[in-house]
Amino acid sequence: MPINILMPALSPTMTEGTVAKWLMKEGDAVKSGDVLAEIETDKATMEVEAVDEGTLGKIVIAEGTEGVPVNDVIAVLLEEGEDKAALKTAGTKPAPKPAAAPAPPPATPPATPAASPAPAAQAAAPARVDGERIAASPLARRMAQQAGLDLTTLRGSGPNGRVVKRDIEGSLGGGAPAARAPAQAPIAVAAGPGAKSLADLLGMTYQLEPHSNVRKTIARRLTEAKQTVPHFYLTVDCRIDELLRVRKEINGRFEDVKVSVNDFVIRAVALALGQVPAANASWDDSGVLRYEHADVSVAVATPNGLITPIVKAAEGKGLATISREMKDLAGRAREGKLKPEEYQGGTFSVSNLGMFGVREFAAIINPPQGCILAVGAGEQQPVVKDGALAVATVMSCTLSVDHRVVDGAVGAEFLAAFKKLIEYPPAMLL
């Protein structure tokens, strides 16, 4: 009996995914543990492994198809001894939901036209309609809505006549859908009665860059955070000359250890949370969640958007361990290879833009966490030291706080503990 390969749920919040790439083709022998495909989720690209053995009999969902619901069939595996004839009995969809009562048939059924020979080459099928819903990918629907296109007038070139991105781009370009347009192909859009955006109305030419799943998730979560979390902000200036001296000495003495300023920040945050545990908390409608460990989420920029891998239980890790973990996590984050448990969760976030020369900024809280620390660049500034004017390297750090769970006094106490650790790194050894 053929085995259906389903779109897996790669995280607790995943409802749909994109078949980014097939790594095997129809007819290939499959062993348990073989990587079949790469699936793009809302945060990363994950590899899907086979759990059964056999032959890849049919690829149901084509490479590049977006918005495939979890548990939909994406391919069919033939067991040993089965041939392609068995595919006729294989399902290509998940178990159907109970359908509404069918509408009564028309009094006079329409006449059925005589069958005609199929042409050698056939155009793409019209968009398939399930009831009142046109078969189209979520991206195609959004692009059509923005451009004022009627999906019922388009022919879908995707699986089973589904309207996909290239069909929209082909329609906007005034010709037939291209075989596969590049992700950032320029699209000239003229103003018209169905135009939706200001650019359309002004007849502007622009590039439409479709949102990645990562970018859509970032937009949803940050909008939710700013709309529902009452932020307030606290800023402290830290003198980091001693930190820079210690860092230089460590990196000069040990060939296999290269610590960064951000590694010191992560270590200081974790220890400060241990000293002020009330800041290591988050809001829940049922009560305040107070965490036992400092699982520090660190913002990392990737080609698809921001992601926050986690240094777990950072309070128990030294600078060298934190440095090695962050290099590994950041590298795999940029490649889209993080596991869900490596970026989901976290109790406190750190966002550092100092390497870009940003002196000071305020970050948006990463829900459901209660705090995020925004770290700026270290700059030489005039300061008063022992009653005399001097020059020191000063780093501004701004704490964004969820006022529902962390009060101003607690936030100030945390920053005071953090400042002491940053300004005197040997205290991190105590």
Give the CA radius of gyration of the chain: 28
> What span, in angstroms and rounded, lies between the C-alpha atoms of 241 and 232?
29
Residues labelled catalytic: 403
Residue 116, amino acid:
S
Tokens matching residue 400: 């964004």
The closest alpha carbon to 351, from 360, 341, 342, belongs to 360
- Specify whether the backbone of 91 is left (phi greater than 0), alpha (psi in -120 to 50) or beta: beta
The closest alpha carbon to 279, from 349, 208, 218, belongs to 349
Residue 218: helix, strand or coil by DSSP? helix
CB 412 within 8 A of CB 290: no
Residue 230: alpha-carbon gap to chain centroid: 24
> What span, in angstroms and rounded, lies between the C-alpha atoms of 193 and 171?
16
Residue 86, amino acid:
A
Residue 83: helix, strand or coil by DSSP? coil
> What span, in angstroms and rounded, lies between the C-alpha atoms of 224 and 13?
16
The partner residues of 39 in beta bridges, in order of sequence, read 19, 46
> What span, in angstroms and rounded, lies between the C-alpha atoms of 331 and 286?
37
> What span, in angstroms and rounded, lies between the C-alpha atoms of 86 and 71?
21
